[in-house]
Structure 1
Amino acid sequence: MICQTTGWGGQPIKSAAHGDDTRDPSERLRPVEDHPRIRITFNGSTSDVLPWKFVPNQREVRVLPGETALAFYTATNTSKEDIIGVATYSVTPGQVAPYFSKIQCFCFEEQRLNAGETVDMPVFFYIDPEFANDITMKGIETVTLSYTFFKAKYDKDGHLRPVAQ
């Protein structure tokens, strides 16, 4: 939760308003037309104990700060049993994380795939327009969004925990 709020450790910020609750999040979604497009690449992986195939449907998209983008990943349960998985994500380089905002995503939510089932999973995001004004972001042309799926299990208190690799 701390990582999602602060962007620490490469975790994109989940709040569209970045802590400014007085602003309508749609006010942030104005593309910075005079900024070069940022290349967003995608990576997908699974833990060793999860018999799923998990891949991005596109290699990259190019966006302006403030412009929304929609990307998809495909997950296939290659086993003969139903399995629940949970994805975590990160953004590299890590200093971009405070500017990477997910509007909608499948991460940190249980995803149940029946035996042999294939599903498409969307992620709707934007790079905050303030990215263009941050001198420390100068020269960053490529950002990678990475997801890793883990097999889910529950601890003795009923809390969801990823299964260790």
Structure 2
Amino acid sequence: MDQMRKPYEKRNANTLYYTVSIILGTVALSYGSVPLYKTICQQTGWGGQPIKSAAHGGTLDPNDTDSIAAKLTPVTTSRRLRITFAGSTSDILPWKFTPQQREVRVLPGETALAFYTATNMSKEEDIIGVATYSVTPAQVAPYFSKIQCFCFEEQRLNKGETVDMPVFFYIDPEFLKDPNMKGIDTITLNYTFFKAKYDKHGHLTPIPAPY
């Protein structure tokens, strides 16, 4: 059995090393003034915000291969969960924003990649947008771990431009041990894009939180 697990552990460790490097690069390039509500929501799961913490896979130690293997090894004895996707924009943002897939089915511990497509419908100006996200049912948020996504970061689209935006995620296997998750088979990931606004100092100002 141990011999069978080793390939999975190695593959999952390589996957994490790759995605951690992407995250670090993204953070280094992102805006310096991060809204306080973003940090609060990600640490508490408040309002259906997926948690990004060591306890839920958000900041796994790349050197801890046992922890990585435990988090990112599919639980094959579990039922598959139906993950659906939704997207919308604020009234003042002239973008078209939709998920490319209606749903995916995953096992807890199994990584999945999904895509959204955004188009700047304006024919006159380039526009910067910023997205918030939420998970429903809200109580699932502590177990919905996003390894890589485009949320809370500036997304600049030239007039008429269309881009694909990836989301790399997994459901923490601890989901299966929580009696409150019993009977939950469908989880929805929702994004809402807002037009980025800046204060007089040129810093990105907080966008409305979805709760």
Aligned match for 1:26, one of 68, 91, 95: 68
Unpaired runs of 5+ in structure 2? 1-38
Question: Residues 75-154 of structure 1: matches in 2 within 5 Å?
Answer: 75-80=118-123, 81-154=125-198
Question: Residues 40-79 of structure 1: matches in 2 within 5 Å?
Answer: 40-79=83-122
The equivalent of 2:28 in structure 1 is none
In 1, are the aligned partners of 2:60 and 2:68 still within 8 Å (CA)? no
Q: Tell me how large the CA RMSD over aligned residues is.
A: 1.8
Q: Distance in 2 between matches of 1:163 and 1:100?
A: 22
Change (3 A) 1:163 1:11: closer
In 1, are the aligned partners of 2:56 and 2:172 still within 8 Å (CA)? no
**Alpha-carbon deviations, 1:78-134, whole Å to 9, x = none?**
002100000000000000000000000000000000000000000000000000111
Change (3 A) 1:26 1:163: closer
Hey, which bits of structure 1, 4+ residues long, moved more than 3 A?
A: 19-25
- SS in structure 2 of the partner of residue 136 of structure 1: helix
> Identity of paired residues, percent?
79
Q: Distance in 2 between matches of 1:158 and 1:113?
A: 19
In 2, are the aligned partners of 1:16 and 1:102 still within 8 Å (CA)? no
Change (3 A) 1:158 1:57: same
Amino acid at match of 1:11: Q
Q: Larger relative CO (CA 8 A, sep 6+): 1 or 2?
A: 1
Q: 1:16, CA displacement in angstroms? A: 5.8
1:14 lines up with 2:52 in the alignment: yes
Q: 1:2, CA displacement in angstroms? A: 1.3
The equivalent of 2:82 in structure 1 is 39
Q: Distance in 2 between matches of 1:39 and 1:125?
A: 13
TM-score normalized with structure 1 length: 0.93
Q: Distance in 1 between matches of 2:204 and 2:191?
A: 18
- SS in structure 2 of the partner of residue 3 of structure 1: helix
| Structure (1/2) with the larger strand percentage | 1
TM-score normalized with structure 2 length: 0.73
Amino acid at match of 2:79: P
Q: Distance in 2 between matches of 1:85 and 1:130?
A: 34
Amino acid at match of 1:122: P
